[in-house]
Structure 1
Amino acid sequence: MGRVRKTMTGPWVIVMVVVAVGAVGFGLYWFQPWKLWQDETVQEALPEVAAVSTPPPAAPSEETSAPPSPATGPRVLAQGELISHEHTTSGTVKLVRLADGSHVVRLENLDTSNGPDLRVWLTDAQVLQGKAGWHVFDDGKYVSLGKLKGNKGSQNYALPADVDPSGFRSVSIWCDRFDVSFGAADLARA
């Protein structure tokens, strides 16, 4: 008499396969490991602001006031060098006031890893070296300036009009999915 070998079939095997495929699919979506090998380079110039038109000269009067001063160009208010946190990161960060009074955070010569859900944050946190600095930026006040446009290059991020930049001291390349800084820079006032 021959022995009958039991094979693994049945509904529980199908459930295990579905669970395994689902877990792999979720892991790929959540970590997006292919981004580590994909670079996105963005090269933006500093925004130009249209020249402010001067009003026509007023009729002569006994009291004369100084003519309006012409618009000045962009002015760097603060800057700093990016240091590495979770991923190797380098480049320069500048807080710039444009001629129209608006502000931008400018990343120059950025070089970091690509990743899921990367943001540019203006924060009130002090930049700390090493692992001590990986998670400090969401502990205090911060403003998300939007998704990181590219992990390499030079790019601009406008500050909302209601944000006073004087209350912030650093910029972080923040991975919102894993709540960790890829790199950050202290802003030294110019």
Structure 2
Amino acid sequence: MNDHILILGGARSGKTSLAEQIALRAGKRPAYLATAEALDDEMAERVAAHQRMREGRFDTIEEPMELAEAIFAAAQDHDVILVDCITLWITNLLSMERDVAEEVEILVDTLDAIEDTRLIIVSNEVGLGIVPDNALARTFRDLTGSAHQRLAEICRHVYFVVAGIPMVVKGEAPWKDLN
């Protein structure tokens, strides 16, 4: 079985910070696979700030759409891949009217086949709030929830982060020796 990790949490919960700490301790050649696209000035600055923070610690790969292919390629050269994040990837797929459920299955099959590289997958938990008031937002919430369920099935470890505090949902806690 793989040793993949799924880390869920709300916006600014500390999930990416936890993922980075685990990735840096888990391997010698970590890659950071970013799915964000800088479509406006504010997002461009966020992306640039994240790139500066990771510089020298991770090899950065940017791939907003073809996630499974990018993971497979990165696994040839890296022992750890941090994917940040699934919700942005799903947003990108929806904007291009791609079949999200089919893409998730391709991703799951790819992750399930990778055993020598640890994957750390970050995503925003969007299902804990009120029911969205429009069809697109409800579709996004539903597709994201289904994707999380499929990823949690194949990942050995699942963590949920609240206010910077990680909780074990499935598996063991690797952060006992962090900090």
Q: Specify which structure has the higher proportion of strand.
A: 1
The structure with more radius of gyration: 1
Q: Specify which structure has the higher proportion of helix.
A: 2
TM-score by shorter chain over 0.5: no
TM-score, normalised by the number of residues in structure 2: 0.21
